[in-house]
């Protein structure tokens, strides 16, 4: 009996070490940019690209009674600022018998980055410390650090990244918007 308990604990501890190393099953997370080169003082969008393995989902900013939303703790060069994550509209995902809000599809979580007006370096590196939960029949917490290095352009316009600019523009269309038809007053 004691041997089974020890084996179970080793499996749980071993699974945790996989999550810390960024090897969590269920999803692959990558930082991507809408621009191929940044411009001093010109905001641009960086996205966390989440590719789900078949049958897996991750969670929206307000998942419901189950789930953990994906988060990014930014470590940026001096003078850079990151806005909040802009979340595309979620779908209902099921975890056991509980409905939650999340994504089965590949998704881009958008963040606006504002660089300072002057950048001496020829390139910059953005670093995000990520946490997420990928679930199917079981859930796998994930922890990883991702980096994105971009050149600093010296002309007057940021150049779109041909790999990601269109996908990020399309994801912007999935962001919830206010219809302006409702107002709420609390007195």
All structural domains of the chain with their residue ranges: 24-171
Query: What mean pLDDT is predicted for residues 55-63?
Result: 94
Q: List pLDDT tens digits, range 124-150.
A: 999 999 999 999 989 999 999 999 999
Lowest mean pLDDT, pick from 6-15, 33-42, 157-166: 6-15
Q: What are the structure tokens assigned to 141, written together? A: 């917490």
Q: Are 130 and 29 in contact (CB under 8 A)?
A: yes
CATH fold for domain 24-171: Immunoglobulin-like (2.60.40)
> With 80 as the cut, is the pLDDT of residue 18 above it?
no
pLDDT computed for residue 96 by the predictor = 79
**Which of 63-67, 111-115, 155-159 reaches the highest mean pLDDT?**
111-115
In whole numbers, what is the pLDDT of the chain averaged over residues? 86
pLDDT at 2 over 70: no
The DSSP bridge partners found for residue 114 are: 81
Look at residue 142 in the predicted model and tell me its pLDDT: 94
Is a pLDDT exceeding 50 seen at residue 15?
Answer: no
Angle at alpha carbon of residue 98, lines to 105 and 90, rounded to 5°:
30
Q: What is the pTM of this model?
A: 0.82
Q: Which of these, 44, 48, 132, 32, lies nearest to 81 by C-alpha position?
A: 44
Dihedral of the CA atoms 31, 74, 40, 160 (nearest 10)?
A: 20
Residue with tokens 């988060």: 71
């Amino acid at each position: 009996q004691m041997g089974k308990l020890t084996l179970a604990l080793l499996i749980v501890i071993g699974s945790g070490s996989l999550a810390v190393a960024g090897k969590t099953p269920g999803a692959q997370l990558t930082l991507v940019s809408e621009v191929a080169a940044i411009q001093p003082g010109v905001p641009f969008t960086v996205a966390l690209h989440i590719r789900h393995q078949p049958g897996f989902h991750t969670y929206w900013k307000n998942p419901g009674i189950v789930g953990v939303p994906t988060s990014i703790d930014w470590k940026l060069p001096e003078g850079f600022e990151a806005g909040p994550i802009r979340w595309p509209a979620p779908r209902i995902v099921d975890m056991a018998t509980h409905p939650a809000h999340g994504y089965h599809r590949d998704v881009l979580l958008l963040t606006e980055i504002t660089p300072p007006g002057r950048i001496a370096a020829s390139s910059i590196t953005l670093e995000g410390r990520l946490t997420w939960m990928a679930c199917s029949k079981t859930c796998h917490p994930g922890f990883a650090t991702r980096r994105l290095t971009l050149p600093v352009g010296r002309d007057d316009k940021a150049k779109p990244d041909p790999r990601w600019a269109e996908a990020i523009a399309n994801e912007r269309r999935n962001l919830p918007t206010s219809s302006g038809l409702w107002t709420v007053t609390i007195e």
